[in-house]
Chains A and B, each alone.
Chain A
Amino acid sequence: KQEVTQIPAALSVPEGENLVLNCSFTDSAIYNLQWFRQDPGKGLTSLLLIQSSQREQTSGRLNASLDKSSGRSTLYIAASQPGDSATYLCAVIDAGGTSYGKLTFGQGTILTVHP
């Protein structure tokens, strides 16, 4: 059974810092890995999707890497801003004919960026 772990559980940084969020998964047979952002009381916003054949994806100040063989992904946020404060969730879709796009989520990293 796939398990996803995110470290750290919470992170507080001053504005302007570059930071790294970590995600690990136990079964490397995945279709893809997604990073989501969740603001308090809100739904999930997809940030980046990395296909299993890819090594990284970039969007603005965000860069996500994937090392499938070791079961790890990192989300790098450059020049953090207070508006980046949110919970960041990592999720994978297992490969295989019965996965049907089902996501397995980590517990999330709560990020606080203070001015």
Chain B
Amino acid sequence: SQTIHQWPATLVQPVGSPLSLECTVEGTSNPNLYWYRQAAGRGLQLLFYSVGIGQISSEVPQNLSASRPQDRQFILSSKKLLLSDSGFYLCAWGIGVGANVLTFGAGSRLTVL
């Protein structure tokens, strides 16, 4: 069966510090991978998606970047965090262009102080 893992679950970082959130998927090959952010009082916003190794598409301009070094690994990074980067980050995976269920990880709570 397929599973998705995210870590760390919770992170408190000072402004200006770097960030690395990791997401891995098991039990499937060549998934589409996604990073969403849920900020306080706002809905879920798609940040990045990837349809293959090394292929990253950004949906919104921001202080963050994403990388996909392996087929089932998706990393969200920042060189210098801003207060506005605080939020709940969710990784998800799916197969195909849109006919299937998207499965989400448990999320990573980032607080920037």
Q: Please report A residues at the B interface, Cβ cutoff 8 Å.
A: 31-32, 34, 36, 41-46, 49, 51, 89, 91, 93-95, 97, 99-108
The complex places the Cα of A32 from the Cα of B101 at a distance, in Å, of 9
Residue in chain B with minimal CB distance to A95: B98
The complex places the Cα of A76 from the Cα of B104 at a distance, in Å, of 23
B32 & A108 in contact (Cβ 8 Å cutoff): no
B90 & A32 in contact (Cβ 8 Å cutoff): no
Interface bin, chain B: 20 to 34
- The dominant DSSP class at the B interface is strand
Of the candidates A43, A89, A93, the one whose C-beta lies within 8 Å of that of B98 is A93
Given contacts A31-B99, A43-B90, A44-B90, contact A102 B46 (CB under 8 A): yes
The complex places the Cα of A43 from the Cα of B101 at a distance, in Å, of 15
Q: Using Cβ atoms and an 8 Å threshold, which residues of chain A touch B32?
A: 100-101
Stretch of B13-21, B73-81, B105-113 with 4 or more beta carbons under 8 angstroms from chain A: B105-113
The complex places the Cα of A32 from the Cα of B98 at a distance, in Å, of 7
B106 & A103 in contact (Cβ 8 Å cutoff): no
Closest-CB distance, A49 to chain B (whole angstroms): 5
Q: Using Cβ atoms and an 8 Å threshold, which residues of chain B touch A107?
A: 42-43
The complex places the Cα of A104 from the Cα of B59 at a distance, in Å, of 12
A-B contact pairs, 25 of them (CB 8 A): A32-B98, A34-B101, A34-B102, A36-B104, A41-B88, A41-B109, A42-B106, A42-B107, A45-B104, A46-B104, A49-B101, A91-B102, A95-B98, A100-B98, A101-B32, A101-B34, A101-B49, A101-B98, A101-B100, A102-B59, A103-B34, A103-B92, A105-B43, A107-B43, A108-B43
